[in-house]
A and B are shown apart, each in its own frame.
Chain A
Amino acid sequence: MHLSVQKAAFDAGAELNAFSAGVVGAGAVVSFTGIVRDADGTLSAMEIEHYPGMTEAAIGAIITQAQTRWDLADVLVIHRYGRLEPGAQIMMVATAARHRVAAFEAAEFLMDYLKSRAPFWKKEFGHDGATWVAAKEEDESALTRW
């Protein structure tokens, strides 16, 4: 298991290559990278706050749940905090498994839980000032499918 909560940028390609090289016997590696989006061209930056200590514990528990549900060779989660500009990589998840279904499902499970059960809060800075991103109803209901 590889878990990093960090301020610094990361190289998703290099991370994925290192992760893939480290898994033995896995026939499938799935990865997801989240990027700061500027949907309507008004976002100048995003600030991500987190709860040091609880963040690592919560993500660790989510990874353990995924490992219990699916037969995974390995899991990687990187999540950034601090100030990020549009186009920057916020986070990435990678899963390795013998078969692709487990790798895909576990990656989606991790994403769904990271969204509403890991203590991060996003604040967007735009032309009209700053606003905290509100949690969406569908993020909460996404958990019920698991």
Chain B
Amino acid sequence: MDVLYFAWVRERIGLPREQIDTTAATVMALIEELKAREERYALAFCDLKSLRVALDQKLSSFDAPLAGVREVAFFPPMTGG
């Protein structure tokens, strides 16, 4: 699936997007998998309260299932307007 990062999440990880092959069943499982990869991921995902997730461009939650999802995006709380 495509995993996208925005704002300081993108800066901490050092990539705007990447393709990840995963068997993670939920967003939380994917986060744990990424955190275990490298320090920069652990740093980006260290405080989940300051993170939001979108699945196929819709705001979602960390316990949401990933079955059938093509695009996951992680970003901080939005600051539009």
Stretch of B23-31, B38-46, B69-77 lying at the A interface: B69-77
With A51-B6, A121-B6, A121-B7 as known contacts, state yes or no: A57 contacts B57, CB within 8 Å. yes
B59 within 8 A of A: yes
Q: Does B80 contact A (CB under 8 A)?
A: yes
Size bracket of the A interface: 20 to 34
Return the chain B residue nearest A132 by Cβ: B8
Q: Are B59 and A117 in contact (CB under 8 A)?
A: yes
Task: Give A89 Cβ to nearest chain B Cβ, in Å.
Answer: 12
Q: Is A15 an interface residue (CB 8 A)?
A: no
Q: Are B79 and A51 in contact (CB under 8 A)?
A: no
What is the minimal beta-carbon distance from A55 to any residue of chain B, in angstroms? Answer: 9
Given A119-B54, A119-B75, A132-B76: A49 and B81 within 8 A (CB)?
Answer: no
Check B8 against A135 for contact (C-beta < 8 Å).
no
What residues on B are CB-neighbors of A26 within 8 Å? none
A123 within 8 A of B: yes
* Known contacts A51-B73, A54-B73, A132-B8; is-contact A120 B79 (Cβ 8 Å): yes
Determine which residue in B6, B76, B78, B80 has the highest number of CB atoms from chain A within 10 A of its CB, and name it.
Answer: B80
Asked if A116 lies at the interface with its beta carbon under 8 angstroms from chain B, I say yes
B4 contacts the other chain (CB 8 A)? yes
Nearest CB of chain B from residue A115's CB, rounded to whole Å: 4
The reply to whether A123 and B7 form a contact with Cβ atoms under 8 Å apart is yes
A49, B6: Cα distance in complex, Å: 8
* Structural contact, B78 and A120, CB atoms closer than 8 A: yes
A51-B6, A117-B59 known; A91 and B75 CB under 8 Å? no
B7 contact set on A, CB distance < 8 A: 49, 121, 123, 132
Complex Cα spacing A132 to B51, Å: 14
Chain A residues packing against B (C-beta within 8 Å): 34, 49, 51, 53-54, 57-58, 79, 90-91, 111, 114-123, 132-135, 139-140
Known: A58-B57, A115-B79, A120-B79. 9 other contacts (CB 8 A): A49-B7, A51-B54, A54-B58, A91-B80, A120-B78, A120-B80, A121-B7, A132-B76, A132-B79
